[in-house]
Amino acid sequence: MMENGGLQQTAAGWIRRATRVAVLTGAGISAESGIPTFRDNNGLWRNFRAEDLATPQAFARDPRLVWEWYNWRRSLIAQAEPNAGHQALVALEQTKPGFTLITQNVDGLHARAGSRDPLLLHGDIWTLRCTRCGVAVEDHRANLDPLPPVCGCGAMQRPGVVWFGESLPAEVWRKAEQAARSAEVLLVVGTSALVYPAAGLIQVAQQAGAKTIEVNAAETPVSGQVDCSLRGRSGEILPRLLE
Ligand code: NAD
């Protein structure tokens, strides 16, 4: 059994030699920026139940409560800055002609760090979408007031994110699957790999012959399936792995 150091060298070699690299990130990459994840000890779901807040049913039942929660998350994210993990991925992108960043995060930190065109599988917390006419607008105010916000057409707006039980944006998903299928290396960072279909991209890449590398602070259901699993914080591991 190799220690993290040896594994890291092996994984770094795979990445260095590859032309087509895909990266799948989750809430863990933003943890060191101070944004709570969903499923860790201090994760959001310790204090709130997902089914009360992040479902179409919850929004239909109590839109104001759901919006208050999103307002709270928006204010946390507004104070956060991208960390060394986000930045290492920006540097990697500049060295790879075939680079695709796929994220489950809605916080916008990849784009703020300088990643060019991240595929937002679960949408964007800074987008508001009308529940009637469907028009989407960007709004970066940390605290929306009054709640719920209202579209120009008079109907209520909702957060522009994908809730449990909803479909992913079709074109974004198509591009993500395509990137996973054609990658020589898939790097999986800071995701519990429990939310599907996003986590299915790992298998898509593996079946197409990619090397898969996980970077996570804890063991996950895919730790035993990937080619190399590196244990630790992404803000520390990624800069070393990708230097
Ligand atoms: P998750 O909360 O289920 O899992 C977070 C994972 O990150 C865990 O496996 C944990 O071990 C790992 N982790 C924690 N700190 C880390 C660190 N410093 N370095 C490396 N790994 C670390 O999150 P998920 O897998 O992204 O899935 C849940 C859903 O949560 C997604 O749909 C996403 O949209 C949403 N979400 C997004 C944000 C955000 O935008 N920042 C925050 C919370 C949840």
How many structural domains comprise the chain?
Answer: 2
Nearest to 104 by CA among 171, 23, 180, 32: 23
Q: Domain with 56 in it: what CATH number?
A: 3.30.1600.10
Q: Which of 110, 141, 161 is the last residue of a domain?
A: 161
pLDDT at residue 1, as a whole number: 40
In Å, what is the CA distance from 26 to each residue of 54, 118, 188, 204, 214? 17, 12, 8, 17, 11
Mark whether 196 and 214 lie in a shared domain.
Answer: yes
Structural domain boundaries, residue 113: 1-34+82-122+168-243
Q: Domain with 196 in it: what CATH number?
A: 3.40.50.1220
7-66: pLDDT as tens digits:
999 999 999 999 999 999 999 999 999 998 887 655 554 466 666 689 999 999 999 989
In the block, which residue shows the tokens 């707006």?
157
CA 165 / ligand 1 centre spacing (Å): 18
Q: Is 83 in the pocket of ligand 1 (CB under 6 A)?
A: no
Nearest to 4 by CA among 221, 240, 202, 229: 229
CA 154 / ligand 1 centre spacing (Å): 35
CA 132 / ligand 1 centre spacing (Å): 31
d(CA 143, CA 205): 39
Contact 24, 102 (CB under 8 A): yes
* Single-letter amino acid code for the residue at 8: Q
* Single-letter amino acid code for the residue at 105: N
Closest residue to atom 22 of ligand 1, CA basis:
28
CA 220 / ligand 1 centre spacing (Å): 11
pLDDT at residue 44, as a whole number: 55
Q: Which of 141, 161, 181 is the last residue of a domain?
A: 161
Mark whether 193 and 232 lie in a shared domain.
Answer: yes
Output DSSP code: residue 150: B
Where the chain has pLDDT below 50, the residues are 1, 45-46
- Name the residue of 23, 38, 122 whose CB sits within 8 Å of the most ligand 1 atoms, as the mutation to test its pocket: 38
Mark whether 209 and 178 lie in a shared domain.
Answer: yes
Closest residue to atom 8 of ligand 1, CA basis:
192
Q: Is 103 in the pocket of ligand 1 (CB under 6 A)?
A: no
Atom of ligand 1 nearest to the CA of 106: 40
pLDDT at residue 42, as a whole number: 58
The token pair that represents 52 in the structure block = 């009360």
Mark whether 48 and 143 lie in a shared domain.
Answer: yes
Q: Can you give the pTM of this predicted structure?
A: 0.95
pLDDT at residue 48, as a whole number: 66
The β-bridge relationship of strands 136-138 and 211-216 is unpaired
86 has catalytic annotation: no
Mark whether 86 and 45 lie in a shared domain.
Answer: no
